[in-house]
Structure formats: C-alpha cells, structure tokens
Structure 1
Amino acid sequence: MEGLPTKDQLIKRNIQVGQNCSFCWAGIESHEHLFFIYPFSSSIWGKVSSLCSQGGGGPTTIQSAIAWLASSACADDMLDMVPKLAFCATVHYIWWERNRRLFENKVRTHDQIVEAIRLDVSIKCAAFSISVIQNPRNQFLADKWGLRVDWKTITQKTCAWFRPPANMTVLHCDGSLTVDRASYGGIICDATGAAIMAFVGNGDNNSVLSMELYAILRGVSFCVQNSQLQVSIRSDSKLAVDILNGVVSCPWNMQTLRDRISSIFHHLQRKEIKHVWREINQPADFIASMDTGDGEVIIYPPDFPPELVELIKNDYDRKVYFRNL
C-alpha cells in the first residue's frame, strides 16, 4: 500500500502535481487520508469489516488495518483467506476508484465498490475447495460472502507424550516468530520424559521454518556434544519434519541449513524424526518463546521456571490432550 504513488509521494519525488485529495479535493492526498481518513474510504472499510466479523468497526489507520487483518484472520483454517482477500481487494478498489475519478472523470458509490469487493473475493474463493468446521464464525463468513463450503464433521482424537524406542534420547524442538523477534528452542529428555537440559536463542531470519530447522540443528548438536547419539527428534512443524525425511523438496533458501543438519546427522548412531501435535510439544514451544536476551542460553532443570516444570511434569505423567480434527 505504501508504495502506491499518492500525490504526497509524487511531490517528494519532485513531480509537480497538486496535493489535494482526488476524492475530497480538500485534504492532502496521503496514504492515511486517501485510504482511511476520508469518509468515503472509511465507510467502505466499515462495510467490508462488517462482512468479515460480527463486531468492531473498520480500520482507521495503516497500523490499525494490519491489526484488523491479524484479528480477523486468526482461526487457522481455509476461511482465513477471506479477510486477507477482502483487505487486498479493498485497497485495490479504493485506489482504482481514485484513478477513475482522476483520469476518467467517472464516479461510483461506495455501495457499488463494496459489491465489487464482495464479488471479487467470492470469485477468488470459488477456485478453492473449502472444507472447514461449521461454527458461528465460519457460518457468518460463508453467508456474508456467498461461499460454497463443505462443512467438516468434527472428530476428536487424544494424544499424550510417548516413549521413544529403547535407549533413545528425546529432542523436542520449536521455532517462534513475533513482530520483533525470531527465536528457537528445545528440550532434551531421557526415555522416561525426564528433562536433561533446554536451550533457547535468537535468530536472524524472519521465517518460522528457518527457526524450526535451526532448533533441530542446535538440539542435535547438543546431543552429539553430550554423547547422546541415539535421538528421537520431535517437532510440531510437519513441513520441517517432511523436509528432513525427504518427503518434500526443501525451499532453495533453506537448503544450506538443511545440509548443515544432514551433516550433523552423520554423527548419530540412530535417529528418527517425528511430527507431533502442538499439545505434546508445549515445553519446547514455551522455551522457544522465552526472551533471554541476545545469544544462546542453556538451561538446566534446577533453573527451569515453574510454568515449564509443570508442562514437563504433564508430559512425564502422560497427560492426555484432546484435539479436534
């Protein structure tokens, strides 16, 4: 959005144009004014927001638009694409309307633009076979946007921490990515689930996959250093597990990291790489999200925070978790 050549941006590039907004001809045409402050645009955002969620108004600034998108697309299912597509379509059609008025002297009402956005999103969604759980949020989106949805039947499965094959050490790994921090972490346990050590560090690559893979690299390195050469490696990143098991191709920008992991695997006498659900990877998830400052930190059980001790105990006691599929 910020790359669009609004008049204030053109003036900064020494291009001689009038600075008045192409909609109201009063305010200075900036991204904030054109897309959010001017009532015509804000009314479009309000209507689009009402199609995406049952509460709250539309965004009023670029930052609030990002926050609105994050809160509207947080269910981790296929219908998350609806607010994302709506966001892109809204920016596109507001900009298009600005150009129509400026260069073609043509005008559409905000209701016409909202309908164009709704149709645009519906057509794009029609290209996908959408299968999601039927809940109030998903039913609302399907009804408002006129989407064809295959409603899933909810099945519930149980999961619990499980022992590795005989004589193997267990390595749980995870990566974390927030707005201002990329990090990795993991925990090494014996075959009963008792913790041996944990590690956490900051990364310099803003990719969850890279942090997931780097956590495995560091965890296996610690195992090798401590002569734990038979390792059951567990991660809740199916993509990372599939890459290391050779099930899927590795992205080109992760190949160097994958090769480093493959190289250290040669030091192991036996290994297995397993995908586990998040419910039984909670200690690694907790560790990866710990902010310990710069660098990498090794933590031993006497120094574990109480929350981590409780999570490890749940695994040790084989606490059963329920997961909807």
Structure 2
Amino acid sequence: MDGKSYLEDGLICRIKAWFKIAEQAKQNSDLCSPPSNTHRMDLQVGWKPPREGWVQVQTDGSVLGDSLAAAAGGLIRDRFGRCLDAFSCNLGVCSITSAELKGATVGLERAWQLGFRAVELNLDSQTAINIIKNWQDDDHQHGLFASKIGQLLTRDWQVEVKHVFRECNYSADFLASKGHCLPFGTHYFDVCDPHLYHWLLYDVMGNTMTRSINMMI
C-alpha cells in the first residue's frame, strides 16, 4: 500500500468522489419547485456516532453517468469514529439503486462475519431504504438484493436501518467511488486506505454542512 502509483489512484478516487457529490447536488437543485405550502429551511448536518455498544455500517453506491459503470463501498465504525473494517466493490454495470442495495448487503454480511450484533446501517438513499423495509416480492427488479438483506435482518442480532443525508456519508461515498478504480469484485481492506482518514477525521472533528430541506407550513 506504499508508493507513488497507489497515492495517485487514491487522489483520483477522491476527485471522482467530489465530482459525484457536486453533480448530485446540481441534480437536486434542478428538481421541480416544491409545493406552495412548503418553505425552505437550512439545517447544519454532519456525521453522528452510533450509541454505546453499537457499531455503524455506512454504505453507498456510485454510478458513472451514462456508462452505468457501477460501484459500491462502505465501512464499519465504532462510536469514536474509528474505522474497524472497509470495503469497495466494482459491480460492472447496474443501476444506482442496485449499487446502493449491494453496498448495504456487503456491509451487513461483513458486520455479521466480524461478530457485531448491534448494528446501525446508514444509507443516504431513501429509495433503497424503502425497498429494504417494504420488500415483499422476489420478482421485483431489486428483489434479489432485497431478499438477501431481508434474510440478513432475520438473524439473531439487532439492526436499525437509518436514512442519513449525503453530507453525513462522505466516508462511504469515497469508498464507493474507489470501487471504480479496482478490478471487478469486492475488495476488503485490512488496513484502511490512507486517503479515507481524511474523511474519518472530517467526521470526528464535528464538521457540518448546510443542507436546505423543504418544511411543511
């Protein structure tokens, strides 16, 4: 994990992560106007640790433009923000929702394998969360992933599935973007990518960003 070539790869992944964040922010700003009975409210949002005795699994998916080149990534963190495990996946070609669900599947499987039994799963995709919580049909286009997650959730452990804003999920976003730079398949990191520590430190220092949301009047 030493050497110039590795550092260059990490820098490329960080740049891609920032471009992805910027592109998605622009897409959000281009959405249709909110209903007339709402108003915009600014919130300061940032990473929040899991409660004592729990670990946090943060996952994310990434799809590069029209190519549909897909990747996913995630990490397991303790309540002090330390990275206990991390992974990136190159998924080939699939939809962004499939990538999000694949990341959640790998993250939960990894947490179980490592012996954690109180897990907070964080995703910034409300669509993926809705599928996880409401899945009933194996024939659904995302039924394979949803079924696997459903099976994981029935095991003898505690899992809470939570939606978080993208501004609270930069570490997972970085690892998902890193997946585009790796060979096809899932890659686990015994020693976390040194570039990941930038985002871990960003979180534990209590940094926040302004998020505008629609509030009902």
Question: When the two structures are superposed, what TM-score results if normalisation uses the length of structure 1?
Answer: 0.52
1:286 to 164, 174, 178: 174
For the pair 1:230 / 2:132, whether they are aligned, the reply is: no
For the pair 1:167 / 2:53, whether they are aligned, the reply is: yes
The equivalent of 1:209 in structure 2 is 97
The equivalent of 2:33 in structure 1 is 131
- Contact 1:243 1:250 survives alignment (8 Å): no
Residue 165 of structure 1, CA deviation: 3.0
Please give the residue correspondences for 1:100-111 in structure 2 after superposition, counting only pairs within 5 Å. none
For the pair 1:186 / 2:56, whether they are aligned, the reply is: no
- Amino acid in the other structure paired with 2:57: L
Aligned residues: 186
CA distance in 2, matches of 1:297, 1:249: 30
Residue 153 of structure 1, CA deviation: 4.4
Which structure features the higher share of helix residues?
A: 1
CA distance in 1, matches of 2:87, 2:145: 19
- Once the two structures are superposed, residues 207-254 of structure 1 have per-residue CA deviations (whole angstroms, 9 ceiling, x without a partner) of 000010010110111111110121000000011112222399898111
Which structure features the higher share of strand residues?
A: 2
CA distance in 2, matches of 1:317, 1:245: 32
Q: Secondary structure at the match of 1:252?
A: coil
- Contact 1:205 1:211 survives alignment (8 Å): no
CA 1:246–1:285: 2 relative to 1, 3 Å: same
The equivalent of 1:75 in structure 2 is 26
Instruction: State the superposition RMSD in angstroms.
Output: 2.7
TM superposition outliers: structure 1 runs of 4+ over 3 Å: 77-80, 149-154, 247-251
Please give the residue correspondences for 1:277-316 in structure 2 after superposition, counting only pairs within 5 Å. 277-290=165-178, 291-301=181-191, 303-306=192-195, 308-316=196-204
CA distance in 1, matches of 2:138, 2:37: 33
Please give the residue correspondences for 1:1-325 in structure 2 after superposition, counting only pairs within 5 Å. 75-77=26-28, 79=30, 130-131=32-33, 153-178=39-64, 179=67, 181-246=69-134, 252-290=140-178, 291-301=181-191, 303-306=192-195, 308-325=196-213
- Contact 1:170 1:231 survives alignment (8 Å): yes
Larger Rg: 1
Instruction: Using CA pairs under 8 Å that are at least 6 residues apart, name the structure with larger relative contact order, 1 or 2.
Output: 2
Structure 2 residue ranges without an equivalent (≥5): 1-23
- Amino acid in the other structure paired with 2:184: D
- Contact 2:135 2:143 survives alignment (8 Å): no
CA 1:150–1:250: 2 relative to 1, 3 Å: farther
% identical aligned pairs: 24
Residue 166 of structure 1, CA deviation: 2.9
